[in-house]
Chains A and B, each alone.
Chain A
Amino acid sequence: MSHGNMNLTLKVWKQKNKNEKGRFETYDAKGISPDMSFLEMFDVINEQLISSGKEPIAFDHDCREGICGMCSMYINGRPHGPKQGITTCQLHMRSFKDGDTIVVEPWRSAAFPVIKDLAVDRSSFDRIMAAGGFVSVNTGNAKDANNILINKDDADGAFNAAACIGCGACVAACKNASAMLFVSAKVSQLALLPQGQVERKSRVLNMVKQMDEEGFGNCTNTGACEAECPKGISLENIARMNREYLGASFT
């Protein structure tokens, strides 16, 4: 059973709450196994902090299998760390070298205020969804599912966009803290499906309006969001949303 032999230095953002100023603190992580996940390394550090009477580091996490979107660490300047296509909980210590120094920060965006240490408030995403990220169909009215035939390519395209986990890495990666990738993924999913056609125009207008009100920045097409997205959400979604938005604005 593994207790490993990696020794690392961590510089972690500590901030008591959203009103107080934060700072970096340095921690030694000793005896780390390469088979541990990044979050399990934090468990080990926290266990050590607790046993020496210190306060552990607060961080968000839940499913630990890369799908809930709760974990949100900005590691060495990259959301979810150095590897592509995975969330922090799926990042394993074998991706680092013995002796490394690792810097860990929360998502940084005006629209994601820090709650404590590495945990941030992402309720702005929920409000954008409430503004239009749905098909208005009440329970109990649906016709037989196979009465709606959908071309497999469209269905697959909608699924690929719908795979977004709402973690906010796109915002954290963007120099403008833009939420365009997140919003465009939902707009695209529903624009590609026949079920989404009725509200196609109002949806994009309402979601973009809410996005702007939440204080997210503009998109300047740097593509950092796509590069850092753990679920491979494509920039094509942003292009599609721009077309949808223009189309909806001029009619």
Chain B
Amino acid sequence: MASSPKLNSKIPEGTLENKWTKYRSTVHLVNPANKRSLEVIVVGSGLAGASAAATLAEMGYKVKVLCFQDSPRRAHSIAAQGGVNAAKNYQNDGDSIYRLFYDTIKGGDYRAREANVHRLAEVSGNIIDQCVAQGVPFAREYGGTLSNRSFGGTQVQRTFYAAGQTGQQLLLGAYSALQRQVGMGAVTLLARHEMMDVVNIDGKCRGIIARDLISGKLERHFGHAVLLCTGGYGNVFYLSTNAMGSNATAVWKAHKKGAFFGNPCYTQIHPTCIPVSGDHQSKLTLMSESLRNDGRIWVPKKAGDTRNPNAIPEEERDYYLERRYPAFGNLVPRDVASRAAKERCDAGFGVGSSKMAVYLDFAANTERYGKIQANKLGLHNPSKDEIIRLGKEVIKEKYGNLFDMYKQITGEDPYELPMRIYPAVHYTMGGLWVDYNLMTTVPGLYALGEANFSDHGANRLGASALMQGLADGYFVIPYTIGDYLSEEIRTKSIPTDNEAFAKAEAEVQERINKLMSIKGTKSVDHFHKRLGKIMWDKCGMARNKEGLTLAITEIQKLKEEFWKDVRVTGEANEFNPELEKAHRVADFIELGELMCKDALDRNESCGGHFREEYQTAEGEALRDDDNFAYVAAWEYKGEGNFELHKEELKFENIKLAQRNYA
């Protein structure tokens, strides 16, 4: 297989270990005087956006940052719980850059680019150094050194964390760095602004159209380069662990203006989330993967067992992950753990009122910690109650905020009863196709963090999203953007009365007018929920040809109905959350169709993409490396038409193998 001539990944020559070092030292530079007249627009203020914007401003570029929330600190990176990976080998457990690289490629089921992933592993250590320098309060040991824990898909402890609030602390670090630049006037901050379209001039991206969400006014912004750091598209499914506002509008608009979309069908269903409790449900809440360090997952051995979980004796419990995967046990990668939970529930062994849940049980480790603690305190022959009490204190220190959240949402106390959990949509590995420089197929238009497709293959490992967002923003784009901007130093700022800006703004205005004028009978949420149901049922944890084919027709019908019957209340020229949602849902519908087409086209199973037709005798994902070891990059060819281009994935350093966690 050869890669499409339209896709130049620009992977540097040289050995895997030297590619990045050499490239970084030879990529073109922009001198300080020229940087001052080069303008960069950053859309999104999460880990990728805030770190990129702060760093580019420190380097001297003129930066503008947009976020739809009221403050950059609210971007959804804030909600990441468990941690951030880095190959520091502080635990002396055999970790290395190569091992992080290897785990990530394998965890991604051999569908990621070797060169990108190796670079990610190389800079991972710098991220921790940078964050500590900023004052990010990571968890520490009594000796003052940093603490680590383990995550799925690895056998080392390389995850750095701050209780169950690691994303919050990392984002506040990046936000602080960003606000410092705002204070110095190097960054212009536009909060409550949403990108509505990109503006291309002579084949290059030259700016964006944005909507001021308070006044409703459309604005034109010029940039020599535009960075989309807008996160993933999990909200296509309506119910997900994403924030209510997380959306795909920026990447979808970029896609329609020429940026190819990479692997849209690769979505991650996270195994440990609080189950759906009713029709009113607006979002799903994650219980961090770090809980699988200390929690054991089980269902009763007897189908339909309705006893209180604490009354079910040990020998009548099926610890199915430990049974099926003894080497990794409860710490198998997310896709494997999610499918295993679905398998047990589908077979009738699920628990709780909906029977769509499994237990995550902390009793064994509570007791173990209690005994250790009793020894530390010099208590001889402590009673069982005393041990449990001490153990609960340890659990509380490690996961207190998560346990409190669980209790708030379910009304059950996880210190007394095992948690009930079920998989939920969490992350999208797919995203805009980018080259080694993180540039899309539109020159001058970049995608960073979850918005691009690049590093996680078909399944992301836990604690790697924070790593990738910050790697892209702090340590990759600041170098790679020079390759493009060094050629742009003669380009003067283009006045925004240029006809390309006028035309793009007119198109956006027309769409707003159309949405406001339909005055149909159904709310935006009504359509979003229906889209979510189609996607979850037919393009979720398990997919097949028949279901996907049907889903595509259903989505096309839904789209037609949306544009005839949606009701958007209020006015366009005011703060109008219904109008914001309408734009986003219209884009989700179109993206949902592409996700199904991609899933239908990929006749294999890999990572989070599980096609029921392609599985091993044990029910594991069955890849087809001869025919599908490629990145699917889709080109937009007009409404509902997409052309597939393939980027061949070459594995020169890792031998392709069936993943084995048993």
Contact = CB atoms under 8 A, between A and B. Distances in A.
Contact of B165 (A53, A56, A67, A195): A67
Interface in A36-94: 36-37, 39-40, 43-44, 47, 49-51, 53-56, 58, 60-70, 85-86, 90-92, 94
A86 B79 CA distance: 15
Nearest to A158: B137
Nearest to B141: A152
Given A67-B78, A159-B163, A1 B278 contact: yes
B130 A139 contact: yes
Interface string B87-123: 0101000000000000000000000000000000000
A94 B408 CA distance: 10
B126 interface: yes
A123 B135 contact: no
Given A92-B409, A163-B165, A126 B189 contact: yes
A121 B282 CA distance: 25
A145 B128 contact: yes
Interface in A13-46: 16-17, 33, 35-37, 39-40, 43-44
A129 B163 contact: no
B143 interface: yes
B634 to A, nearest CB: 29
B586 interface: no
Given A85-B404, A129-B176, A35 B277 contact: yes
Task: Using C-beta atoms within 8 Å of the partner chain, give the interface range for chain A.
Answer: 35 or more
A3 B286 CA distance: 23
B521 to A, nearest CB: 8
A220 interface: no
A63 B78 contact: yes
A150 B140 contact: yes
B326 interface: no
Contacts of A142: 126, 129-130, 132-133
A189 interface: yes
B472 to A, nearest CB: 12
A62 B145 contact: no
B516 interface: no
A137 B174 CA distance: 11
A3 B135 contact: no
A178 to B, nearest CB: 19
Nearest to B90: A146
Interface residues of B, number: 82
A190 interface: yes
B512 interface: no
A71 B191 CA distance: 16
Interface in B176-225: 176-177, 179-180, 182-183, 189, 191, 214
B279 A122 contact: no
Contacts of A65: 79, 283, 285-286, 405
Contact of B177 (A134, A141, A189): A134
A55 to B, nearest CB: 5
A110 interface: no
Given A50-B523, A58-B577, A190 B135 contact: yes
Contact of A68 (B78, B131, B285): B78
A111 interface: no
A134 B71 contact: no
Given A47-B525, A62-B76, A196-B135, A126 B243 contact: no
Given A56-B569, A162-B137, A70 B74 contact: yes
B135 A70 contact: no
Given A40-B282, A43-B280, A67 B575 contact: no
Contacts of A131: 183
A39 to B, nearest CB: 7
A210 to B, nearest CB: 9
A146 B128 CA distance: 10
A246 interface: no
B182 A122 contact: no
B578 interface: yes
Nearest to A143: B129
A162 B139 CA distance: 12
A251 interface: no
A245 interface: no
B393 interface: no
Nearest to B134: A135
B76 A135 contact: no
A204 to B, nearest CB: 15
B415 to A, nearest CB: 16
Given A64-B244, A163-B165, A196-B135, A58 B409 contact: no
A133 interface: yes
A244 to B, nearest CB: 15
Interface string A178-202: 0000000000011001011000000
A1 B141 CA distance: 45
A61 B282 CA distance: 12
Contact of A39 (B135, B282, B408): B282
A166 B72 CA distance: 11
A50 B521 CA distance: 9
A103 interface: no
Contacts of A44: 280
Given A63-B76, A67-B78, A116-B574, A135 B143 contact: no
B296 interface: no
Nearest to A144: B129
A149 B143 CA distance: 8
Contacts of A70: 69-70, 74
Contacts of A150: 140, 144
Contacts of A67: 78-79, 165, 168
Contacts of B279: 1-3
Given A151-B144, A152-B142, A50 B133 contact: no
Interface in A192-235: 193, 195-196
B214 A115 contact: yes
Contacts of A54: 569
A45 B632 CA distance: 43
Given A1-B278, A90-B409, A145-B88, 20 more contacts: A17-B574, A36-B278, A50-B523, A51-B567, A55-B569, A58-B575, A62-B244, A63-B76, A68-B69, A69-B78, A86-B408, A90-B408, A94-B411, A130-B179, A140-B126, A141-B133, A146-B146, A158-B135, A195-B134, A195-B135
9 contacts: A50-B523, A65-B283, A126-B71, A135-B135, A138-B58, A139-B475, A159-B163, A162-B172, A195-B134
Nearest 9 A-B pairs (CB), nearest first? Answer: A149-B144, A130-B183, A2-B278, A142-B129, A134-B176, A142-B133, A159-B137, A145-B132, A158-B137
